[in-house]
Amino acid sequence: MTVIDANRMHEIETRYPEYFHRSFRQRFGGLMILIATLLYSLYAVWFFDLPKLFAEAHWERVGIYLSQWVSYDVQPEFRIEGNGAIDIRYPRFSPLGDNPHPDWLVNNPDGSITVSISGTSRSVTVSKSETIVTAHGVSVPVEVSSGAPKVVGSVPGWMTVYDDNVLADLGFAGNVSISVDRVKIRKRFIGWANFIFDTQSSFFDKPVGEVVGLIVSGPRIKPDQSNLSLAFDDIWNNSEWQHGDVWTKLFQTIVMAFLGTLLGALTAFPLAFLAARNITPNRLLNQILKRFFDFLRSVDMLIWALFLTRAFGPGPLAGSGAIFLTETGTLGKLYSEGLENIDNKPREGIKSTGAQTVLVHRYGIMPQIVPVFVSQTLYQWESNVRGATIIGAVGAGGIGLKLWEAMRTNANWENVAYMVILILIVVFIFDTASNVLRHRLMGTKTH
């Protein structure tokens, strides 16, 4: 073990004072940051009233919305007539079409009707005098012959009795509402109903093999149109999923992002040369343009979209204009700062040869800035694909408006999921393409 005397210790302290005589910030900086973070967290909890927010939130809706993203339901209604007959009705726009005969609905010899909700474990049998709900291993009869529905025996936890009806919650599989003269069933299926062909299509409810056979070599369904063309028209004009309108709006979003970013880059490029202090030695002009860039980018793209939709009306023109204004400010600032950080030696060398200003910029500046400028522009373009979706919700056109309309109905969540997936795919493609192009321009490898 080595013993260090006082002189040696003093010498070490003198040589490395930063380790032995640390400032207050160095000694307690980490602790102060931790305390400040805790205090800010407590303030945020108080400011947003998080306990009340979490207590009053409708958490059950999360599961409902998520289930509707990946499923659909069919809602047959059984009306008990005065003569004891049972009339089956479906909603006007039922996923089963105008004349449904589902195999999960069975007419029994005694006149009753059995509906399989989820295999044999969950089912409903409707007769003129009672409805029997089978679920969770028990069968619960509900009498409907008197003035109000009455549960026979004890009421299970998944069944709720009201004054004029009885509601049976069967979980994700669906539910049953029972009143004296009618029984309404909601049966849920995994998947998206009629995603390819809607109920009005000539190919609706046909097996895949039959559809392929008709398209390839089958007789024409319409004499004046080939089956292939007819199938494409039916898919493109699907009334339930509106593929044609959705894809057209998606293309509008992409065009809005491209056009707005391109015009912003073309406008910001020459202005950046005037705003850069080392290129244009005019302090007043430099400051005016830089403040102009700050103004354009400080007003959010969404606000610009609101202004322009009031001026030009809703549509992609307002969206492209909003992106153009925002990108002029953002790219103008990025370009001018990039110009101010260039190496002046190549520029001075070319200038010393007596070359004109245009040639000095062309050969002394452009080779240094083009890769950086293109990389920044590509990143903004990829980002604006997402931004164009948001501003579309305020009337600026594109798929954002379509998405907002689907969400407002609070019933077409499968359509919302469809559009969200399309947006994610487009953003992923553009993000990947943008990254590849940026890495190639900058001379770096992708990982």
pLDDT digits (tens, 9 = 90+) for 337-360: 888 887 777 777 877 777 777 777
Q: State how far the Cα of 219 lies from the Cα of 355, in Å rounded to an integer.
A: 75
Categorize the per-residue pLDDT at 410 as very low, low, confident or very high, splitting at 50, 70 and 90. confident
Among 107, 131, 134, which residue's Cα sits nearest to residue 119?
A: 134
DSSP state of 379: H
pLDDT value at residue 115: 92
Q: Does residue 245 register a pLDDT over 70?
A: yes
Q: Domain 243-442, what fold?
A: MetI-like fold (1.10.3720)
Categorize the per-residue pLDDT at 250 as very low, low, confident or very high, splitting at 50, 70 and 90. very high
E strand or H helix at 256? helix 243-275
For the chain, counts of helices (H) and of strands (E): 16, 13
User: What order of strands is seen across the sheet that includes strand 105-107?
Assistant: 105-107, 113-118, 122-126, 130-135, 138-143, 150-151
Encoding tokens for residue 371? Answer: 């890769």
- Averaged over 272-292, what is the pLDDT? 89
Distances (CA, A) of 219 to 31, 209, 234: 80, 15, 17
Stretch among 85-89, 258-262, 350-354 having the lowest mean pLDDT: 350-354
Please say whether the beta carbons of 88 and 106 come within 8 A.
no
For residue range 367-391, list pLDDT tens digits in order. Answer: 778 888 888 888 888 888 888 888 8
**Domain residue extents for the chain:** 18-57, 75-190, 243-442
Give the count of beta carbons closer than 10 Å to the beta carbon of residue 285: 13
Please say whether the beta carbons of 192 and 414 come within 8 A.
yes
Q: State how far the Cα of 12 lies from the Cα of 15, in Å rounded to an integer.
A: 5
- Averaged over 63-67, what is the pLDDT? 80
Encoding tokens for residue 165? Answer: 């009806």
Give the count of beta carbons closer than 10 Å to the beta carbon of residue 271: 18
Strand partners, 124: 115, 133
Q: State how far the Cα of 145 lies from the Cα of 130, in Å rounded to an integer.
A: 7
- Averaged over 230-244, what is the pLDDT? 92
Which residue carries 């990982």 as its tokens? 447
- Averaged over 122-130, what is the pLDDT? 90
Encoding tokens for residue 97? Answer: 């079409």
pLDDT value at residue 133: 92
Q: Average pLDDT of the chain?
A: 86
Distances (CA, A) of 119 to 75, 88, 89, 132, 205: 17, 21, 22, 15, 22
- Averaged over 411-420, what is the pLDDT? 88
Among 328, 327, 308, which residue's Cα sits nearest to residue 319?
A: 308
pLDDT value at residue 9: 66
pTM above 0.85, yes or no: no
